[in-house]
Amino acid sequence: MPAVSKGDGMRGLAVFISDIRNCKSKEAEVKRINKELANIRSKFKGDKALDGYSKKKYVCKLLFIFLLGHDIDFGHMEAVNLLSSNKYTEKQIGYLFISVLVNSNSDLIRLINNAIKNDLASRNPTFMNLALHCIANVGSREMAEAFASEIPRILVAGDSMDSVKQSAALCLLRLNRTSPDLVPMEEWTARVVHLLNDQHLGVVTAATSLIITLAQKSPDDFKTSVSLAVTRLSRIVTSASIDLQDYTYYFVAAPWLSVKLLRLLQCYPPPEDTALRSRLTECLETILNKAQEPPKSKKVQHSNARNAVLLEAIALIIHHDSEPTLLVRACNQLGQFLQHRETNLRYLALESMCTLASSEFSHEAVKTHIETVISALKTERDVSVRQRAVDLLYAMCDRSNARQIVAEMLGYLETADYSIREEIVLKVAILAEKYAVDYTWYVDTILNLIRIAGDHVSEEVWYRVIQIVINRDDVQGYAAKTVFEALQAPACHENLVKVGGYILGEFGNLIAGDPRSSPLVQFNLLHSKFHLCSVPTRALLLSAYIKFINLFPEVKATIQDVLRSDSQLRNADVELQQRAVEYLRLSCIASADILATVLEEMPPFPERESSILAKLKKKKGSGKLPENVNGNAELHAEEPAAANKASPPPPTEVLALNPTPPAAAHSLLVDVFSDLSAPTAVAEDHLSRFVCKNNGVLYESQLLQVGLKSEYRQNLGRIYVFYGNKTSSSFLSFSSWVSSSDVLKTQLNVHAKAVEPVIEGGAQVQQVLNIECVTDFSDVPVLNVQFRYAGTLQNIEVKLPVMLNKFFQPTEMTSQDFFQRWKQLGAPQQEVQKIFKAQHPMETDAAKAKLLGFGVALLEGVDPNPANFVGAGIIHSKSAQVGCLLRLEPNTHAQMYRLTLRTSRDSVSQRLCQLLSEQF
Amino acid sequence: MIGGLFIYNHKGEVLISRVYRDDIGRNAVDAFRVNVIHARQQVRSPVTNIARTSFFHVKRSNIWLAAVTKQNVNAAMVFEFLYKMCDVMTAYFGKISEENIKNNFVLIYELLDEILDFGYPQNSETGALKTFITQQGIKGQFQTKEEQSQITSQVTGQIGWRREGIKYRRNELFLDVLESVNLLMSPQGQVLSAHVSGRVVMKSYLSGMPECKFGMNDKIVIDKQGKGGATDDAAKSGKQSIAIDDCTFHQCVRLSKFDSERSISFIPPDGEYELMRYRTTKDIILPFRVIPLVREVGRTKLEVKVVIKSNFKPSLLAQKIEVRIPTPLNTSGVQVICMKGKAKYKASENAIVWKIKRMAGMKESQISAEIELLPTNDKKKWARPPISMNFEVPFAPSGLKVRYLKVFESKLNYSDHDVIKWVRYIGRSGIYETRC
């Protein structure tokens, strides 16, 4: 083929590239490129038409220049021209240029699409392939729009070549990934599934990739693929390797296809059909058997391919989780890999075992490998493998081996890599809590944890230990003794000081009998750490001191001296200063009884899910841990419960010193940590403003603004609530819901849509509340808002202005009608009359506006006295409609009003009268 | 103070590495290469801060010289030193190139040891250095004890730049005033910015230890004399005096005397050196005026006409004139017609280059070109870079004149009149641009 090789050579291009490569400096390169660009421009500009060869050459050069990082702003037209050439090489370069340099230039896109269309219709397989590759490479929305309907047809057409089908399947996969909405698959589903039966293994491989993606989106449509996949898999697995010729890779039959089929099967539960099921089991057994055979080749590719299939099969076994024998065999197989000298294999084995451990069938089998895993933890050189070992230990832990595992993890923690320390700390804390039979062991473990890796112990961990100590009477004395001993170490971590301060403050009296830990010794020990600590810890220690005053009156003078010193009373930090001042005053003024009440021992905390677990989950969510690694049967059971909780339990609550704080030190004692105590403000004063108004600001504080916009139609209403973050930092775990009294719940349906859990600083989010009035009501629902700002939990309760009059529908009627109805509603309980003093200036226009806002229609010329107001309306509720007539008689001399209401229901009359009378 | 000095080739390979202080680690060499030489975007700042370490670099052809320090040094001092270093190397082995540096690396290390001590710059006077750092190997056995002690006394003495006992049969003196004029002009001929930076370079071949005094038409000096002396003299020379914005001197000039009397007196080094550097911004004589005319004919054609006018005495001749007219990036063909000189479209530089060998004063010449354009996809408009120009004229565009250079040597028997003096003025273009 001498002619072709000459055509392919493109000597000019080769010379140009070698020139560029030989350039000594950047400047020289730019010069050479400028020269070449000028040359190409003059060639493209030239009057005589270029032949295909030179066009291809120049387009190639432009492509090369573009890939070097220079802008190309011409030549697109020539590239598009190349697309219509009949020579493969020219077409190829044209498509290459388009794939690399295409932009959404409208007129060119049309030309390109046209060329692609022609090629797709050309029946020449190479051209069709080029066109399909181009579509897949560009993969833009425009491409998807133009060809989404065409490609499935090519894919399933009986006369398409195998290679074209292969490309079409992959092209469709790509379009499906980028713009799934544009690719309609419904009508093709059955025929695509049948591609699994295709004779050509390449087509099957490509089709499997496509089906996996589609099946993940709509599993039901592709259910039929399961049986085909199993059949195909069993044919591959049982085949002699000669059958598949091209698709045998280092003695492994079609490894890629096998892996993909196994993945596809993982999208579905185990097949129902027993025959199919046994066939699949047989396949999996064969794969496991093959792993036992001696390797057929020493090459690494052989073992890689074999292990890939094996691991995928194990993943499927774990996914099905129904065949105990298979699970145990898989576990044994992985156990062998645990000692393999290949690091990657050990990693994969550990990872798969983590998921295996969560299965009830194989949990015990996994546990037999504990020694190997522990030794892996100690000896592995790669930190990621060690991390997997930690995960696996966590997953295989249960009551029987918890002590051993926790001890090993603690031991490892001292030498652990910094990147995984925090996670190990959390895991140790959780395991210790979960499997603690005896709480002294738990306290020891956590204190050890703080000692070894104090920096990595998050707040949640030590909050938790305090919660548990307070809730368990039996360990309090032991805990006090242990922390006292731990604090005696010359250098101890700040977290230990916190725990120590808190526990001694609460239970120091339990060990005060021992002269070695007399009150003064305890106090001096704590105070020796005081100056080395940060402000929050110091604040906590001050609280501990005031508790000491209560517990041990004998050290009162010493502590008062400390509080009185300038470094406390005049501390630059406001929080510390305030605490010192207030505690000092409290200790001076209050009698022993009051002190004892104020500084009472903490009541037990309500039992709740461990906040540590929530933290670990959060870490998992951030992608540090694969989702299924930590699976433990018990853990999984807990997860949904946690998900239901809107937010993790607030850590500040854990530390509240006293549940019933006296007014004197209200904001201080509620909460040891934060100066921003969480106020539960029920804002009511704004409520009456909303009787005659639908929009406005409902609540406003320094942090948050809540605005309302509401609309009502008949018995339905919709309220848009706007939450505006007025600070510059974001609100975390934001949630809001509406609560109603039990009576109100039957009268009014309120449905609140969920809001985003995070509000960025300065941002606003909207929540929609749908309201339905079932029957007349007089209570008001309450809007609860909860969020975390700067580490403190904020709670806000606001009454939601949903009143009966909101469901008013005004009615116009004549004077005659009005009086007729007025008389009909003459029963004494139907009429309500109220005479009250005006609170606002008595202006006619204002009063009119208020009545209109209230919801009634104002009737002119009904009342003989023009100064009086007369109105009518109907209140809509789901159960009934209540007609309503009202009359308001102002008396300007006495500054009084007389309001008369007649409705068909007495409760409605009462409520409306009450609402309206407040407005004047 | 300078912590170390590195020299790299264009690929970023280290040719010379000399570390003076412990605070500069071995990785500093790589940090500069990775962050500056191999940086993705073009490096604009000559000072780069990487991990609290400052790198000051200059580039000579393809060679990077980088001084590195962790301290807060005077950046101007560091650059002055780097330039001096380049001068010294050029004086020793000619052009600074990778080849030359590789061939002379022993010499360069020797020089670096001498001119920088613990990061503090020392004597960098080429003449003085050449007396004791030689390229001919060790001359110890040829040098007498006397000569050695003389070098010591000179290097450590008060006048480190000149050795004693120099004798010439003919006492000669060459004075060059070299100026480069920079200009940016609007298309309408309005001067947007202009300044002249000049140097006075001297070559002295004088015997003994002569005391020299240099005088020029500095406005302050002339005005002062005018006040003291005859008024008509001041009026006559007032027009010719120039206002110097700022100037720097060679270390041999007695600065105290300049500060008090504004007279420039010094004992010159032997051979060639730069006596002073100065800058002026007022009353600059612009040697050429460029008048551009650009017309766009449709989307695919551009017509350019450029006229240059020389603006100096007809008796003088400008040389090496080169006008560079930028062309748009989508130029596909150029036709040029010019009356004088040669013009050519250089595609690699995206410009039409018009060269004229010689041109007398008060003349004008023109070029016209037709540029064909290729229609492009993007609508970006051509930025129209300015037309730049290069030339050389035999006068000082700042108007500086040398009034006198007196030589006094009391010990030897020659006087000011016996010295042969030559003065030459050369004005070159710096960045001389006209917008079009």
pLDDT digits (tens, 9 = 90+) for B273-293: 899 999 999 889 999 999 999
pLDDT bucket at A508, cuts 50 / 70 / 90: confident
> Which of chain B's residues have a Cβ under 8 Å away from the Cβ of A44?
332, 374
> Which of chain A's residues have a Cβ under 8 Å away from the Cβ of B331?
38, 41
Is B363 annotated in a binding site? The answer is no
pLDDT at A620: 57
pLDDT digits (tens, 9 = 90+) for A688-725: 777 777 788 888 777 788 888 888 888 888 888 888 88
pLDDT bucket at A650, cuts 50 / 70 / 90: very low
Q: How far apart are CA B31 and CA B8, in angstroms?
A: 13
Q: Convert A675-696 to b/e letters by CB count within 10 Å (16 or more is b).
A: ebbbeeeebeebbeebbbeeee
Q: Residue A138: which of A174, A188, A184 has the closest Cα?
A: A174
- Please determine, for residue B127, whether its predicted confidence score (pLDDT) is greater than 80: no
> Which of chain A's residues have a Cβ under 8 Å away from the Cβ of B347?
34-35, 37-39
Out of A41, A76, A108, name the one closest to residue B331 (CB): A41
The arithmetic mean of pLDDT across residues B151-175, rounded, is 82
Out of B62, B330, B347, name the one closest to residue A24 (CB): B62
| Phi, psi angle pair for B93, to nearest 5° | -135, 20
pLDDT at B175: 94
Low-confidence winner among A324-338, A490-504, A686-700, A869-883 (lowest mean pLDDT): A686-700
> Which of chain A's residues have a Cβ under 8 Å away from the Cβ of B10?
24-25
pLDDT at B77: 93
- Please determine, for residue A632, whether its predicted confidence score (pLDDT) is greater than 80: no
pLDDT bucket at A644, cuts 50 / 70 / 90: very low
Is B379 annotated in a binding site? The answer is no
- Please determine, for residue B105, whether its predicted confidence score (pLDDT) is greater than 70: yes
The arithmetic mean of pLDDT across residues A179-187, rounded, is 79
CB contact under 8 A, A74 and B376: yes
Out of B10, B374, B375, name the one closest to residue A24 (CB): B10
Residues forming a β-bridge with B331: B373
Q: How far apart are CA A67 and CA A510, in angstroms?
A: 77
Domains and CATH numbers, chain B: 4-124 (3.30.450.60), 172-226+240-284+396-434 (2.60.40.1170), 288-393 (2.60.40.1170)
CB pairs under 8 A between A and B: 47
pLDDT at A106: 64
Helices (H), B58-134: 75-93, 98-103, 105-115, 126-132
> Which of chain B's residues have a Cβ under 8 Å away from the Cβ of A24?
10, 62
pLDDT at A627: 37
**Averaged confidence pLDDT in chain A:** 79
Judge contact between A880 and A862, C-beta under 8 A: no
Amino acid code (one letter) for A184: P
pLDDT bucket at A637, cuts 50 / 70 / 90: very low
pLDDT at B265: 93
| Phi, psi angle pair for B110, to nearest 5° | -65, -45
CB contact under 8 A, B350 and A38: yes
Out of B349, B372, B376, name the one closest to residue A73 (CB): B376
Known binding-site residues of A equal: 11-12, 43, 53, 57-61
Highest mean pLDDT among A591-595, A711-715, A826-830, B351-355: B351-355
Q: Which two tokens stand for residue A384?
A: 């990621």
Query: Greater confidence, A319 or A620?
Result: A319
Out of A34, A39, A44, name the one closest to residue B349 (CB): A34
Distances (CA, A) of B38 to A71, A254, B10, B25, B54: 21, 45, 10, 20, 17
Alpha-carbon gap: B369 to the closest alpha carbon of chain A (Å):
16
Interface test with A, best of B332, B335, B378 (most A CBs within 10 A): B332
C-beta pairs of B117-121 under 8 Å, 24+ apart in sequence: B118/B1, B118/B20, B118/B21, B119/B1, B119/B2, B119/B3, B119/B20, B119/B21, B119/B69, B120/B1, B120/B2, B121/B2, B121/B77, B121/B81, B121/B84
pLDDT at A643: 38
pLDDT at B144: 65
pLDDT bucket at A8, cuts 50 / 70 / 90: low
Helices (H), B188-328: 219-228, 231-238, 255-261
Q: How far apart are CA A34 and CA B350, in angstroms?
A: 7
% of chain A at pLDDT higher than 90: 5
% of chain A at pLDDT higher than 70: 89
Q: Residue B130: which of B116, B144, B146, B114 has the closest Cα?
A: B114
- Residues of A with a Cβ under 8 Å from any B Cβ are 24-25, 31-32, 34-35, 37-39, 41-42, 44-45, 73-74, 76, 105, 108
Nearest residue on chain A to B375, judged by CA atoms?
A: A74
Bridging pattern class, strands A792-799 and A680-683: parallel
Query: Greater confidence, A129 or A184?
Result: A129
pLDDT digits (tens, 9 = 90+) for A512-552: 777 788 888 888 888 888 888 888 888 888 888 888 888 88
pLDDT bucket at B83, cuts 50 / 70 / 90: very high
- Please determine, for residue A751, whether its predicted confidence score (pLDDT) is greater than 50: yes
SS3 (DSSP) at A245: helix
Amino acid code (one letter) for A486: A
- Residues of B with a Cβ under 8 Å from any A Cβ are 10, 62, 329-333, 347-350, 372, 374-378, 380
pLDDT at B378: 64
Q: Residue B3: which of B26, B19, B17, B27 has the closest Cα?
A: B19
- Please determine, for residue B191, whether its predicted confidence score (pLDDT) is greater than 90: yes
- Please determine, for residue A69, whether its predicted confidence score (pLDDT) is greater than 90: no
- Please determine, for residue B159, whether its predicted confidence score (pLDDT) is greater than 90: no
- Please determine, for residue A680, whether its predicted confidence score (pLDDT) is greater than 50: no
Q: How far apart are CA B420 and CA A560, in angstroms?
A: 97
Q: Burial of B417 by CB count in 10 Å (0-12 exposed, 13-18 middle, 19+ buried)?
A: exposed
Nearest residue on chain A to B62, judged by CA atoms?
A: A25
Low-confidence winner among A81-85, A827-831, B231-235 (lowest mean pLDDT): B231-235
Q: Burial of A630 by CB count in 10 Å (0-12 exposed, 13-18 middle, 19+ buried)?
A: buried
DSSP assignment of B318-366: EEEEEEEEE--TTEEEEEEEESSSEEEEEGGGTEEEEEEEEEETT-EEE
> Which of chain A's residues have a Cβ under 8 Å away from the Cβ of B376?
73-74
Nearest residue on chain A to B10, judged by CA atoms?
A: A25
Interface test with A, best of B377, B378, B380 (most A CBs within 10 A): B377
C-beta pairs of A229-233 under 8 Å, 24+ apart in sequence: A229/A196, A229/A261, A229/A264, A229/A265, A230/A265, A230/A271, A230/A276, A230/A279, A230/A280, A230/A283, A231/A279, A232/A196, A232/A197, A232/A204, A232/A257, A232/A261, A233/A258, A233/A261, A233/A262, A233/A265, A233/A280, A233/A283
- Please determine, for residue A876, whether its predicted confidence score (pLDDT) is greater than 60: yes
Out of B330, B333, B372, name the one closest to residue A74 (CB): B330
DSSP assignment of A130-152: HHHHHHHHH--HHHHHHHTTHHH
Enclosing H/E stretch for B6: strand B4-8
> Which of chain A's residues have a Cβ under 8 Å away from the Cβ of B348?
31-32, 34-35, 38
- Please determine, for residue A421, whether its predicted confidence score (pLDDT) is greater than 60: yes
Out of A25, A41, A73, name the one closest to residue B378 (CB): A73
